[in-house]
Structure 1
Amino acid sequence: MIPVVLPPNPVQHFYRGGDRIAALRGIVPQTDRQPEEWLAATVSRFGDPVTGLAVTADGAFLRDLVAADTAGWIGPGEGRDASDVGILVKLLDARQRLPVHVHPERGFAARHLDCPYGKTEAWYVLETEPDCAFYVGWNQEIDRDELDRRRDAQDSEWMLAHMNRLVAREGMGVLVPAGTAHAIDGGIFVAEVQEPTDFSILLEWSVTTSTREESHLDLGFDAVMPAVSTAHLTEAELATLVSDAGTRPAGSAFRSLLPAVADPYFRLTDAAAGGTSTDTRPAGFGVVLVTDGEGALVGVDGRIDVARGQVLAVPHGFGDWRVEGDAAVLLGEPGTGWPQTLRDGGVR
């Protein structure tokens, strides 16, 4: 099997952005509200059966290709279903601040949403404007009743003031565990890797086009608020969620761009062939974004030429593979031990 080159898949949203995605992917934006692209996605937006799904140049859904040959695409075993690839990768290019929101963890999703995945996620900073920041977790213990009142009052200032502010730097990797309140300033362009769902609890819907009744996963706030952590995320704990590996130039060996605690959920690595070749990546499903240069992906089953801005879905059937030429790549892959970990409860 050979990797599949995927055409651009911009996603409309309530917030402004997308010009940096368009520049990287070589497209002309249709509006100033195409701030996301879902890369090689086999899942869709919450409540929408189609939006977000990756489509091949021939018009086929990648989801259907995977379902038709699960072993060829992901290898032994099966995830949630025959089209599950264990990861969702996005480009997110925000030109305005995103709302304070939370994603549920796996236990909550299994009990309330009939899904074995929650939505732990991570960001890798591709570009940022000066002094733009992530808001991650509470900077003190939060009273649940007070949070309910501030949520109902849509007190954005209170929420942001009670969160840890983390200034973004190019090459920074940040893990956001499920249950953690978070927001992103406008001006930051990231590659986002996450569990393959679209579950969000909006604590701050007033800066979006959503209503209160569209902000709680159709479950009601009484049901979803227990999924929101009110614990103090200390400076020491926050430090374990941050990696600066990507602030240094990439080499020929694939290196992790995220803290080690992300590994059970997903992996994000990079490498640069540097005119020769990278080391070999083991067979498995992967999402490749070519961030610079030209070259080729070379596997046991052949090779495919690549160039900056391309996105490819790499099947398990491509075998062990490497990058040749002058190309530099980002690679998103499912978590260590997936899909067995999804079945045996190895990640909770």
Structure 2
Amino acid sequence: MFKEPIFLEPVLQERIWGGTKLREEYGYEIPSETTGEAWVVSAHPNGASRVSRGKLEGKTLDQLWKNRGELFNKKSDGEYPLLVKILDAADDLSVQVHPDDRYAQEVEGVPYGKTECWYVLDAEQGANLILGHTAADKAGFEKMVNQGEWEQLFRYVKVQKGDFVYVPSGTIHAIGRGITILEVQQSSDITYRVYDYDRKDKAGNTRELHLDKAKAVTQIPHEDVPLSFETMENGDLKIRQLVKEHYFTVEKWEVSGKAGHRVTADFLQVNVLEGKGSIEAEGEKYDLAKGIHFILPNGVRDIKLDGEMELIVSHP
């Protein structure tokens, strides 16, 4: 059985609102000065991650999911379930909403809707995002959308580095200018734009809005989901649960020395946010540093961590 970390190369995506932080903070070779997203764990057809080293070097994650299901203890023929990104919002993202699984399958013909969550890696002072809306009922929501009463409709939330935000499908949302996030989401690229600040693309065209679909899928009224943030400490390893729900579990691991840990999930997605150190699996040691992303495959049970590091760890 294959029992070593599967290190992945990020897939860089240009966006109208992107910037240069992915180069400055993580050393990635960005395609332009408006690079908005690094897809760091992805099997999605719009940008599949490639294995960067080791025995599986050159394979893409979708190939491994299809042909090496034992690496994930794969139980069905469905698509790889999750997608992890780093987003650099040099400008405001469009205000948008995503469908749930049923709507995505019936209307778009794709396997997954999009529930997502954000860990705030950095935020300029006073930065905010949009999470939810103020409408009490469907009639009120449609009236405010139709009349363009955006300032009254959108619900603004200030954020700072280290904050965590859970965004179920059906939630109106937008990441604001000056925020860098790590996003764990269902493996979906379906977005319905509600408002885009009347921006024009490189060709001088305003981007398409999807108001009818947005009205069909938006949760009304908006309700925040309570989160518990339970913490467990094991020697020099502190694990803080950020969210545990139907589609994914996401945790923040803080390593401050040497620590052992027993993995119980089928596989883990691991993103190194800060610091450096190493992970030992099956007697082999692998160096880690900020901006490295990997999957611990099924069958790796006992690991040893060493160093000063902050990790986001997730699994279906």
Query: Taking structure 1 as the reference length, what is the TM-score of the superposition?
Result: 0.77
Q: 2:40 is matched with which residue? A: 39
Q: 1:27 is matched with which residue? A: 28
Residue 77 of structure 1 aligns to a residue in which SS? coil
Match of 1:119 among 114, 120, 123: 114
For 1:67, the aligned partner's letter is K
Match of 1:90 among 74, 85, 91: 85
**For the residues of structure 1 that align with 2:200 and 2:167, how far apart are their CA atoms?**
21
For 2:251, the aligned partner's letter is T
Contact 1:94 1:189 in 2 (8 A): yes
Match of 2:303 among 300, 303, 321: 321
What root-mean-square deviation, in Å, do the aligned CA atoms of Structure 1 and Structure 2 show?
Answer: 2.7
Q: 1:12 is matched with which residue? A: 14
Residues matched between the structures, number: 302
Write out aligned runs for 1:1-348 (5 A): 1-19=3-21, 21-45=22-46, 52-57=47-52, 58-72=57-71, 74-78=72-76, 80-81=78-79, 84=80, 86-141=81-136, 143-150=140-147, 155=148, 158-205=149-196, 206-207=198-199, 209=201, 214-216=208-210, 222=212, 225-229=215-219, 231-233=220-222, 237-238=223-224, 240-241=225-226, 252-258=237-243, 260=244, 263-300=245-282, 302-334=284-316
Unaligned runs of 5+ in 2: none
**For the residues of structure 1 that align with 2:130 and 2:230, how far apart are their CA atoms?**
20
- Per the alignment, do residues 307 and 16 of structure 1 end up closer, same or farther by CA in structure 2, a change over 3 Å counting? closer
Unaligned runs of 5+ in 1: 46-51, 335-348
- Offset of 1:208 from its aligned partner? 5.7
- Offset of 1:101 from its aligned partner? 0.7
**For the residues of structure 1 that align with 2:17 and 2:227, how far apart are their CA atoms?**
26
**For the residues of structure 2 that align with 1:172 and 1:244, how far apart are their CA atoms?**
11
Q: 1:343 is matched with which residue? A: none
**Greater fraction of residues in strand:** 2
Residue deviations 1:56-95 (CA, integer Å, cap 9, x gap)? 23433221122111122x11412624xx1x2111101101
Contact 2:251 2:314 in 1 (8 A): yes
- Per the alignment, do residues 274 and 127 of structure 1 end up closer, same or farther by CA in structure 2, a change over 3 Å counting? same
- Offset of 1:120 from its aligned partner? 0.9
For 1:268, the aligned partner's letter is V
**For the residues of structure 2 that align with 1:256 and 1:105, how far apart are their CA atoms?**
24
**For the residues of structure 1 that align with 2:164 and 2:194, how far apart are their CA atoms?**
24
> Sequence identity, in percent?
25
**Greater fraction of residues in helix:** 1
**For the residues of structure 2 that align with 1:124 and 1:159, how far apart are their CA atoms?**
26
290-299 vs 88-97, which deviates more? 290-299
Residue deviations 1:132-167 (CA, integer Å, cap 9, x gap)? 1111111232525424524xxxx3xx2243121110
**For the residues of structure 1 that align with 2:27 and 2:171, how far apart are their CA atoms?**
35
6-15 vs 175-184, which deviates more? 6-15
- Offset of 1:32 from its aligned partner? 1.7
Contact 1:44 1:198 in 2 (8 A): no
**For the residues of structure 2 that align with 1:287 and 1:208, how far apart are their CA atoms?**
36
